[in-house]
Amino acid sequence: MSILRITGGRRLEGTLRVHGAKNSVLPIMAASILARGETIIHNCPDLADVNAAIKILRHLGCSVDKSNDRVIINSAQMTRSDIPHELMKEMRSSVIFLGAILARCGTAALSMPGGCELGPRPVDLHMMALREMGAKITDEGGSILCAANELLGCRINFPIPSVGATENAMLAATACQGTTIITNAACEPEIWDIQRYLRTIGVKVTGAGTSTIIVEGGEISANTEHHVIPDRIVAATYLSCAAASSGKIEITNVIPRHITTVTNALSEMGCRLKIYEDAIGIDATGKLTAIKPVITRPYPGFPTDAQPPLMAASLKASGTTVFIESIFENRYRHIGELLRMGADIKTEGKVAMVTGVSKLFGVPVESTDLRGGAALCVAALGAEGITDVSGLHHIDRGYDGFEAALAAIGADIVRVD
């Protein structure tokens, strides 16, 4: 077992480059099945979830080569339409292969996906969309079996905007006869990035980034290259690290408009920010204060994935900040560990009230999920003494070279076996 050993009290200074978006590259890797040719993905982060997706693609019969931040996928010789449980359980987003495999093969067999235990995240909306297109689906004993002699364009109206279900609907719609209109679609930037990729392989798709997406079905066969957008949650985490450590840093390879809600919150907290076209500077050397309630919402609202790091950055801000988590019911699992570090947090249902303290203290803590693990590291940077963070397999799912990046700007952080 490995741990991150963080000695707090070091002010972060310097420049960090944000790597490619995990939540963008994974569905694009799934979409590469549709190309029936070679896809070269640039700005691909080295993550546990990316490696899990590579295993799935190879199991399906695709060839995959990975070098630095580039992945080359050739799906021309894809031979299978099933994903076994041992591969599905490695990441929640593995369900995104469902729509792509069904579109390519007309049949798909998957088990229920794994990933962080953040509460119920049913795949019923995914299956609702595929059934609307004409797929026959059985869901028994933890397995999902899909088959369709023909997929037909239709109108799909999601009762709530779901990122994964929107992605699956988009990918499956590429094989439909006619036009598919997806309403109340998720508007996240990663959806827009998938649209960019699909257009490079000849799919007629419009509307990503709005609540209505239109996909024209048709034959696809193309070789292509794609540059993945920067990871907005990694950017938010690095900014939170600077805030917690009274640091002064600049992050590059970022799209500032994707995290406006986060930068607005940090500015209100007392950080001084400079927003550039593809970079953000933050100066958190002053005193931090509590801010108005932070309520997580689907994009363009405050992202649920950025809530734990921002909470950790607010632990020493004077006053009380209220966090309201409206997306995942188990998003507060990291709070127990923050309390052990000396934080003052009271929770009731979806609400967490954080009252700033003068000091935090380093203690052994354990990550229970991806963003909660990042939050523990953010808190450790602003704590006195040594914090040993375990459960790194969660953090490694979403952050490429996390400790090396922070060490490069002054953090005292090492990975210890």
Q: Is 205 helix (H, G, I), strand (E, B) or coil?
A: strand
pLDDT at 115: 47
- Secondary structure (DSSP) of 63-124: EEEEETTEEEEE-TT----EE-HHHHTT-GGGGGHHHHHHHHHSEEEEEPP-----S---SH
Q: What is the value of pTM for the model shown? A: 0.96
- Across the chain, what does the average pLDDT equal? 95
Q: Over the stretch 315-339, which tens digit does the pLDDT of each residue have?
A: 999 999 999 999 988 899 999 999 9
Q: How far apart are CA 8 and CA 149, in angstroms?
A: 59
Q: Over the stretch 135-192, which tens digit does the pLDDT of each residue have?
A: 999 987 788 999 999 999 999 999 999 999 999 999 999 999 999 999 999 999 999 9
Q: Is 186 helix (H, G, I), strand (E, B) or coil?
A: coil
Q: How far apart are CA 320 and CA 343, in angstroms?
A: 12
pLDDT at 95: 92
CA–CA distances in Å: residue 226 to residues 29, 39, 44, 124, 261:
11, 8, 10, 30, 27
| CA 270 to centroid of chain Cα atoms | 27
Longest dimension (CA), the chain: 64
Tokens of 397: 């799912």
Q: Which of 171, 25, 191, 13 is nearest to 105 (CA)?
A: 171
Q: Over the stretch 19-63, which tens digit does the pLDDT of each residue have?
A: 999 999 999 999 999 999 999 999 999 999 999 999 999 999 999
* Active site (catalytic) residues: 116
Q: Which residue has the tokens 């969309």?
A: 129
* pLDDT surpasses 50 at 277: yes
Q: Over the stretch 367-407, which tens digit does the pLDDT of each residue have?
A: 999 999 999 999 999 999 999 999 999 999 999 999 999 99
* pLDDT surpasses 50 at 120: no
The pLDDT of 225-234, averaged and rounded, is 98
Weakest mean pLDDT among 5-14, 103-112, 244-253, 370-379 = 103-112
